[in-house]
Amino acid sequence: MTEDTLKQREETIESLETKLDKTRDFIKNLEHRIRLEETIRRRLHNTIQELKGNIRVFCRVRPGLSSAPNSRLSSKITSARPDQDALATIKYPDQEGREIEFAHSTETARGSQVEKSYGFVFDRVFQPSSTQSEVFEEISQLVQSALDGYNVCIFAYGQTGSGKTYTMEGPLKSTSSTDSKVHGEMGMIPRSVLQIYEHARELESKGWKYKMEGQYVEIYNETIHDLLGNEGSNSSSDLTGGSSSSKKHEIRHGPGGRTTITDITTVVLTSPEKVAALIRKAAHNRSVGSTQMNERSSRSHCVFTLRLSGTNSITDEASEGVLNLIDLAGSERLSQSGATGDRLKETQAINKSLSCLGDVIYAIANKDPHIPYRNSKLTYLLQNSLGGNSKTLMFVNISPLASNFNETLCSLRFATKVNSCTIGTATKRPIRG
Ligand code: ADP
Ligand code: MG
């Protein structure tokens, strides 16, 4: 009997081993197919992005603020006085969410009121009720493109108080909050990083390993400041200097289209928690400057850069993508009359760099032989992430207040100019791998 049992067991073991071998083969096969399909997915994803256009413009109208903004900084900067200013008449005529129409009444020479309406079409119009997560849904595909090895720029353009910082960063407390409602207000920067973490983890099973490095700089008066630097934040006695005022930072364009800034802090983002710390630090460094520099954050561009380097040890592929998220300086027309000295220089710097950004995008779209990247620090810094190889998205942030109508019109016209551009089909930059 014992011998019988033994024999039976041996047979079972043998058949199990055969089964196991088969299963192993099967898994190997599947893994191979997954990797193949990832390559196909990348190609298809990019085709979709190209069909949607390598330059996209989204319009976002912020809601009227019912209660006073609670942050000291924003209440100072915001030109909106909650509840006191009348809201403009805004219509969203189409079902697809691409059109926006402003009605505005003006007085004629004879003193009678005439109502004029102004219509605009964008790739997408977000109404005041749109949530951060709805907005992110639309841009998450571009974040994916950066993971796939393309360069991406996402800009927020608009007058001060129109919701640029809210869109990009969200309220400061949102990133680290455990309250789901507050957490839901997280902006595009933390959402992008979180999405990248998730995808990078999924891609590990397909042989991809990613490294993520973040930088956060401010361009003020055509000068680069490190928002992640330690100067100015450590010493309580020196609050006048702002962030990293002592260091001079230069932009370098290296071989293979790799842009670096000298002496800049680079943070390797190893966990999602690091992002919250990074945003806090940048906000701190910025506010240190603004106490002295008169609402500086509305007068400077903030550029968050995420470099994503991926390698696949199985397929020997490599990719490097860069995701730039840019909170632009307030676009309000600043009068140069009366301004002198530093103030005049500052005013000219903002006006110039914003119009230069428009010129660059326009020149790329027109395939001009000369693209005026060098005309401003911002476009020079982003040179390798604009044009040919890259995808650009511009948010035009709009205030709903009737009193802001003229600025709103200017913003919408700027955005329309950008929107009429189409950048030629992007090609992936080959990387030695
Ligand atoms: P900007 O950066 O363009 O100067 P902010 O992002 O600081 O403007 O926005 C101005 C104010 O409006 C802030 O108090 C902000 O919290 C609020 N705000 C902007 N957009 C929204 C939105 N979509 N939902 C709720 N509040 C918003
Ligand atoms: Mg802002």
Question: Same structural domain for residues 46 and 62?
Answer: no
117 marked as part of a ligand binding site: no
Dist. CA 60 → ligand 2 center (Å): 14
Question: Same structural domain for residues 333 and 390?
Answer: yes
Ligand 1, atom nearest to 327 Cα: 2
Dist. CA 247 → ligand 2 center (Å): 24
Question: Same structural domain for residues 3 and 78?
Answer: no
SS3 209: strand
Per-residue b/e over 411-428, b at no fewer than 16 CB within 10 Å?
bbebbeebbebebeebeb
Dist. CA 182 → ligand 1 center (Å): 14
pTM for the whole structure: 0.82
398-411 tens-digit pLDDT: 999 988 899 999 99
Please check whether residue 412 lies inside any domain of the structure: yes
Question: Same structural domain for residues 5 and 76?
Answer: no
Regarding the beta carbon of 93 and ligand 1, being less than 6 Å apart is answered no
165 marked as part of a ligand binding site: yes
Regarding the beta carbon of 380 and ligand 1, being less than 6 Å apart is answered no
Last residue of a domain, one of 52, 73, 93: 52
pLDDT at 90: 93
Question: Same structural domain for residues 39 and 163?
Answer: no
Ion ligand 2, residues whose Cβ is below 5 A away: 164-165
- Please give the Cα distance from 100 to 120 (Å, whole number): 5
Nearest residue (by CA) to ligand 1, atom 25, is 63
Among 390, 382, 396, residue whose Cα is nearest residue 365 = 390
Please check whether residue 251 lies inside any domain of the structure: yes
Which residues does the chain have with pLDDT short of 50? 68-80, 83, 232-244, 291-294, 423-427, 430, 432-433
Q: Residue 157 is part of a domain; what is its CATH number?
A: 3.40.850.10
40-80 tens-digit pLDDT: 888 888 877 777 667 889 999 999 987 544 444 444 444 44
Question: Same structural domain for residues 20 and 156?
Answer: no
Tokens representing 100?
């926006």
pLDDT at 231: 57
Regarding the beta carbon of 423 and ligand 1, being less than 6 Å apart is answered no
Please check whether residue 432 lies inside any domain of the structure: no
Please check whether residue 79 lies inside any domain of the structure: yes
CA distance readout (Å), 410 to 61, 331, 346: 14, 9, 20
pLDDT at 241: 41
| Ligand lying nearest the CA atom of residue 71 | 1
Regarding the beta carbon of 172 and ligand 1, being less than 6 Å apart is answered no
159 marked as part of a ligand binding site: yes
Question: Same structural domain for residues 4 and 61?
Answer: no
What is the extent of the structural domain holding 137? 55-85+131-419
Question: Same structural domain for residues 167 and 279?
Answer: yes
Question: Same structural domain for residues 73 and 14?
Answer: no
pLDDT at 421: 57
Regarding the beta carbon of 165 and ligand 1, being less than 6 Å apart is answered yes
How deeply is 179 buried, as exposed, middle or buried, from its count of CB atoms within 10 A (0-12, 13-18, 19+)?
Answer: exposed
Domains contained in the chain, number: 2
pLDDT at 244: 44
Dist. CA 121 → ligand 2 center (Å): 25
Please check whether residue 17 lies inside any domain of the structure: yes
Please check whether residue 45 lies inside any domain of the structure: yes
Please check whether residue 292 lies inside any domain of the structure: yes
Ligand 1, atom nearest to 132 Cα: 23
pLDDT at 76: 42
The residue assigned the tokens 């969200």 is: 170
Q: First and final CA of the chain: distance in angstroms?
A: 62
| Ligand lying nearest the CA atom of residue 79 | 1
- Please give the Cα distance from 186 to 354 (Å, whole number): 26
Among 149, 55, 61, 16, residue whose Cα is nearest residue 366 = 55
SS3 422: coil
Nearest residue (by CA) to ligand 1, atom 18, is 163
Question: Same structural domain for residues 312 and 218?
Answer: yes
Question: Same structural domain for residues 332 and 412?
Answer: yes
pLDDT at 314: 83
pLDDT at 246: 64
Regarding the beta carbon of 297 and ligand 1, being less than 6 Å apart is answered no
Kindly state the DSSP code that residue 299 receives in the 8-state scheme. G
pLDDT at 365: 75
Dist. CA 167 → ligand 2 center (Å): 9
Regarding the beta carbon of 210 and ligand 1, being less than 6 Å apart is answered no
Dist. CA 62 → ligand 1 center (Å): 7
Please check whether residue 92 lies inside any domain of the structure: no
Dist. CA 163 → ligand 1 center (Å): 4
Q: With helix as H, strand as E and coil as C, how does 386-405 read?
A: CCCCEEEEEEEEECCEHHHH
Dist. CA 168 → ligand 1 center (Å): 10
Last residue of a domain, one of 35, 52, 69: 52
Tokens representing 369?
């032989």
Ligand 1, atom nearest to 78 Cα: 10
Phi/psi-derived region of residue 228, left when phi > 0, alpha when psi is between -120 and 50, beta in every other case: alpha
Pocket-testing residue among 59, 74, 287, 301, ligand 1, by greatest number of atoms within 8 A of Cβ: 74
pLDDT at 120: 93
Among 34, 318, 303, 313, residue whose Cα is nearest residue 149 = 318
Question: Same structural domain for residues 389 and 403?
Answer: yes
